[in-house]
Structure 1
C-alpha cells in the first residue's frame, strides 16, 4: 500500500487486502456513528478523523489493522489485553480473526472527543 496515494478513506480501504477491508469499514462506521460531526480524510497517507483536532485513525499493517487514538488509557488497555488484543502506546491491533472491540472503541472515541473539545476552548 506504500505505493498507493489514496485521496479518500474509501479508496484507502478498497486498496487494502480484502481480509482487512471489513474491519476498516466497521471502524469508519463506529467513528462516524459515535461522533457524527467528525470529518474523515487522508493524512499521512492513512485515514484520519478530526473533531476539534485529531480524533482517531487507522492503518493496515501486514497482519492486522492498527486503530490509533490518544485517549487509550491503562484501564481500557487491560480490558483489551484480556480479550486478546495487542496494544501500543496509542494503538490497538485488530487481526482478521478478531471482532472489532466496538464498546471499548466507542468509549475511547467519546473520551477523545471530550478531550478535544476541552483543548479547543
Structure 2
C-alpha cells in the first residue's frame, strides 16, 4: 500500500495521523491501516464518492473501504484515487 501511494504521489509527505500511516499533499490525502482480515483505506471525503462504482465490490464504512487480505490489492484503483485526491487538494490550495 505504502509503495503504491508513494509512486502515485511522490511529492506527498508521509505522516502519522489518527495513529495510522497517512500522506499529506496540500492537506491530507489518504490514510491506511492493517487489520486482521483487511487493509483499511481512507481517502475521505471525496476519494470514495468519486470512485463509488469501482469500490462497490468492497466492504465500506463511512469514509473507509476494506481491501480483504485474501485478494490482491487493486493497485491501479488505489493509484487513481490518490492522484484524484492530489489534484483536488492542489486545486483547493490555489483557491485560497
TM-score bucket (shorter structure): 0.7 to 0.9
Higher helix share: 1
**Aligned-CA RMSD value:** 1.5
Return 5+ residue gaps in structure 1 as ranges.
1-26
Higher share in strand? 2
Write out the 4+ residue segments of structure 1 that deviate beyond 6 Å after TM superposition. none
Asked if 1:39 corresponds to 2:13, the answer is yes
TM-score by length of 1: 0.69
How many residues align structurally?
92
Contact 2:48 2:55 in 1 (8 A): no
| Counterpart selection for 1:67 from 41, 47, 55 | 41
Taking CA–CA contacts closer than 8 Å with sequence separation of 6 or more, which of the two structures ends up with the larger relative contact order?
A: 2
What TM-score results when the alignment is normalised by the length of structure 2? 0.84
